[in-house]
Amino acid sequence: MPGDEWQPKLDTYLDGELPTEVMRELDAHVRSCPSCVAEVLNRLQLKRAVQASAAKRYLPTAEFRERIQKSITIRRRPAFRWGWLTAATVAALLIAGALTFYVGLQKLRREQVFSELADLHVTTLASPTPVDVVSSDRHTVKPWFQGKIPFTFNLPELKDSEFVLVGGRAAYLGQTPGAQLIYQVRKHQISVFIFQDRALSRDLSTDTPVMRKLSFNAKTWSQDGLRYFVVGDAAPEDIQSLSQLLKKAERS
Q: Where do contacts with other proteins occur on this chain (CB under 8 A)? A: 7-8, 11-12, 15, 17, 38-39, 42-43, 45-60, 64-65, 67-79
Cα 176 from chain centroid (whole Å): 32
One-letter amino acid of 238: D
Q: What is the Cα–Cα distance from 198 to 225, expressed in whole angstroms?
A: 7
Min dist. Cβ of residue 62 to other proteins (A): 11
CA distances from 39 to 42, 85, 236 (A): 5, 71, 122
Which lies closer to other proteins via its Cβ, residue 51 or residue 100?
51
Which lies closer to other proteins via its Cβ, residue 76 or residue 251?
76
Min dist. Cβ of residue 175 to other proteins (A): 56
> Hey, what's the torsion of the CAs at 191, 196, 198, 201, to 10 degrees?
-10
Q: What is the Cα–Cα distance from 64 to 21, expressed in whole angstroms?
A: 47
Min dist. Cβ of residue 53 to other proteins (A): 4
Which lies closer to other proteins via its Cβ, residue 11 or residue 111?
11
Cβ pair 43, 14 in contact under 8 A: yes
Which lies closer to other proteins via its Cβ, residue 10 or residue 245?
10
Min dist. Cβ of residue 12 to other proteins (A): 7
Closest by CA to 118, choosing from 183, 210, 199, is 210
